[in-house]
Amino acid sequence: FRLTTVEEFEAATDRLLETGAKVGADSWQMRVKNQTPHCKFGEEGICCRICSMGPCRITKKAPRGICGCDAHGIAGRNFLRFTAGGAATHSDHGREICHTLHTVAPDGNYKVKDAEKLIRIAKEWGVETEGRDIYELAHEMSELALMEYGKPFGVQRWLKRAPEHTQKLWHDAEIEPRAIDREVSTAMHMTHMGNSSKPEALVRQALRSGMSDGWGGSMCGTEFSDVMFGTPKPVDTEANLGVMKEDQVNIIVHGHDPSLSEMICEYADDPEMVALAKTMGANGINVAGVCCTSNEVAMRRGVPMAGNFLQQENVVLTGACEAIVVDVQCIFPALGPLSKCFHTKFITTSPIAQMPDSDFIRFNAETAGENAKKIVRTAVENFANRKQELVHIPQLKQKATVGYSVEAIVKTLDGVTNSQVDVLGTTKPLLECITSGVLRGAVAMVGCNNPRVRPDYAHIELMKKLIKNDIIVILSGCSAQAAARAGLMDKRAKDLCGAGLKRVCELADIPPVLHMGSCVDISRMMVLASELSKDSGLPISKLPVVGCAPEWMSEKAVSIGNYVVATGIDTFLGVDPQVSGSSEVTYWLTEGVRKWVEAAYTVEKDIEKLGDAMIARIEEKRAALGI
Ligand code: SF4
Ligand code: FE2
């Protein structure tokens, strides 16, 4: 066993780009060159275009915009709007899931798969569960969850999952999120021309807006997806472009909402569709994923992961992709023109993400079955149009074990303790490993790829460094896929760990880096941190645990970062948030917020130093606890 190297990833990409050049395709690599150097005002966050007296940009000669706003106000407003964009996006995904939950029926497209989890959440929310029909309960829970988006009074229900200490910090700092949509609206209102320009106030609302995502909309997304599609448990799969199959119809699912991808997987197994594929000359139908949709179906079904964010063009460049089926978020508009250079059908499905040069097949929860069947049929029939001379699938793939929800982690780690039965089913075995020093701590590594960082390199190098230092790594999003593609989710990767983590991997039979899901599933990490805090009696901020997003790029990532920090977890970034034009906003994010939430951001673009800084922070926290 050995890891696949980033050099091998890059060689595979180069070979695919040769095909691209042959057919006259554009690529993100070319577009990065065309866009470099980037606009300096934008990079530093000091360009304002929120009113038509502007746009205004801050220079030595012009230190204020026409309205008199300075660099701090402009960078702060931009940062808050950036966060609101992310919070809205995650939360709207969560809302779609709540609507889908409203359609569940025993003979419907969607069913309740994890009734026990639904009942557990209902009890948390004070809803009567005794003697209730599970579908009736699901509908009531869906309505209550949807009310969280617009309720006129009160704060988010999920906040009660946090330890008392954290809840008090949130209350005192006035960052408890009220209705989810309200925090987005407040952010837009505050940043309208002529409202807030005080960095402290803007950063505070950025935390609250982020909180409405992680402790609001994203948590709805994760929890009710589990109710409908099953709570993930460890499952074996494979990752990297080599999961695509030359002799089969390849359907790539890309985007975020499992309501679509789950149905595509169902119909790809439909005997009628498989028979149709055979008549087209294919040996079957192969579904593989890109981005978070891939995480969702990998965690619940073991569907292979073709690649992460910056691999999305590569799947088309293989020449063997019959259809790339997308729903929402992180989808390159480039897929339209690119797919036209091949036989690939680029199928958009959501009114939220409509793009030129795509086939729009609208997907609705109510008609999900027929929509999915139509999509699968379109892909299968397209097999005949494949241009054999353009087909090249890089033969890179690794085995991965994925599916570590909080429930699964707790259950799996029961295996590492010999102690009393009363710790079973809690996070205490994990805490024992940490206090005894067998594990030094944990890092939650999340986020995207970004061409500003050598793609996947930061993720993979940091993971290797952390596990070698006996730090267990939990992952989500494109970070998780980088790990899987490299082979770090193969249980045999335990040999790359320090002695302590290696022992834990052997006892619990886990890989050294644990796949916790998609980006909305970072809410799982918040639940895990809360459980660790309650089981140890320590505030979250004192646990030797940090967050890291080394290659982040989206607004969603900033929203995530804000709620992770607001939950008391120091967060390390490998890409600059666009605020460096303001010393004050920078101060608030990297220091100031600490007095509210006991954590803050660290930005370090040198990956080696970023890793050292995380290890140092973990060791500092251990020293402070005397462990
Ligand atoms: Fe310029 Fe102020 Fe308008 Fe922004 S709000 S564009 S700084 S005048
Ligand atoms: Fe994502």
Q: What was the pLDDT predicted at 348?
A: 98
6-32+241-390, which class in CATH?
alpha beta
> pLDDT band at 417, cuts 50/70/90?
confident
Q: Which ligand is nearest to the CA of 478?
A: 2
Amino acid at residue number 313: E
Ligand 1 first shell, C-beta below 6 A: 48-51, 53-56, 65-67, 69, 74, 193
For 428, the token pair is 């205490």
Which DSSP category does 567 fall into?
T
Atom of ligand 1 nearest to the CA of 56: 1
Q: Quick one: what percent of the chain has pLDDT higher than 70?
A: 99
pTM: 0.98
**Of 41, 49, 50, best ligand 1 pocket probe by most atoms within 8 Å of the beta carbon:** 50
Topology match between the domains 65-229 and 398-625: no
Question: What does the pLDDT look like over 585-620, one tens digit per residue?
Answer: 999 999 999 999 999 999 999 999 999 999 999 999
Which DSSP category does 43 fall into?
H
Atom of ligand 1 nearest to the CA of 51: 3
Question: What does the pLDDT look like over 6-54, one tens digit per residue?
Answer: 999 999 999 999 999 999 999 999 999 999 999 999 999 999 999 999 9
Atom of ligand 1 nearest to the CA of 74: 7
For residue 518, how far is its CA from the centre of ligand 2 (angstroms)? Answer: 6
For 410, the token pair is 């707790």
Helix, coil or strand: residue 167: helix
Is the pLDDT at 420 greater than 70? The verdict is no
CATH code, 65-229: 1.20.1270.30
What is the spatial distance between Cα 206 and Cα 566, in angstroms, rounded to a whole number? Answer: 10
Which DSSP category does 588 fall into?
I
What is the spatial distance between Cα 54 and Cα 46, in angstroms, rounded to a whole number? Answer: 12
**Torsion, Cα of 72, 75, 77, 81 (10° steps):** -160
For residue 561, how far is its CA from the centre of ligand 1 (angstroms)? Answer: 27
Give residue for tokens 């008391």.
Answer: 568
Q: What was the pLDDT predicted at 496?
A: 98
Say how many residues make up the chain.
627
CB under 5 Å of ion ligand 2: residues = 292, 477, 519
Which DSSP category does 248 fall into?
S
Q: Domain boundaries in the chain? A: 6-32+241-390, 65-229, 398-625
Q: Which ligand is nearest to the CA of 308?
A: 2
Q: Which ligand is nearest to the CA of 218?
A: 2
For residue 566, how far is its CA from the centre of ligand 1 (angstroms)? Answer: 29
Average pLDDT, the chain: 97
For residue 287, how far is its CA from the centre of ligand 2 (angstroms)? Answer: 19
Atom of ligand 1 nearest to the CA of 49: 6
Give residue for tokens 């969702």.
Answer: 296
Q: What was the pLDDT predicted at 328?
A: 98
Is the pLDDT at 579 greater than 80? The verdict is yes
Closest CA to 97 of 228, 209, 211, 232: 228
Which CATH architecture describes the domain 398-625?
3-Layer(aba) Sandwich (3.40)
Question: What does the pLDDT look like over 347-390, one tens digit per residue?
Answer: 999 999 999 999 999 999 999 999 999 999 999 999 999 999 99
**Of 48, 72, 74, 190, best ligand 1 pocket probe by most atoms within 8 Å of the beta carbon:** 48
Q: What was the pLDDT predicted at 415?
A: 77
What is the spatial distance between Cα 186 and Cα 561, in angstroms, rounded to a whole number? Answer: 19
Cβ atoms of 368 and 259 within 8 Å: the answer is yes
**Of 59, 72, 74, best ligand 1 pocket probe by most atoms within 8 Å of the beta carbon:** 74
What is the spatial distance between Cα 372 and Cα 378, in angstroms, rounded to a whole number? Answer: 10
Atom of ligand 1 nearest to the CA of 69: 7
For 289, the token pair is 């994923």
Pick the residue whose CA is nearest to atom 2 on ligand 1.
Answer: 67
- Angle of helix 258-268 versus helix 291-301 axis, rounded to 10: 60
Q: Which ligand is nearest to the CA of 295?
A: 2
**Of 52, 56, 81, best ligand 1 pocket probe by most atoms within 8 Å of the beta carbon:** 56
Atom of ligand 1 nearest to the CA of 68: 2
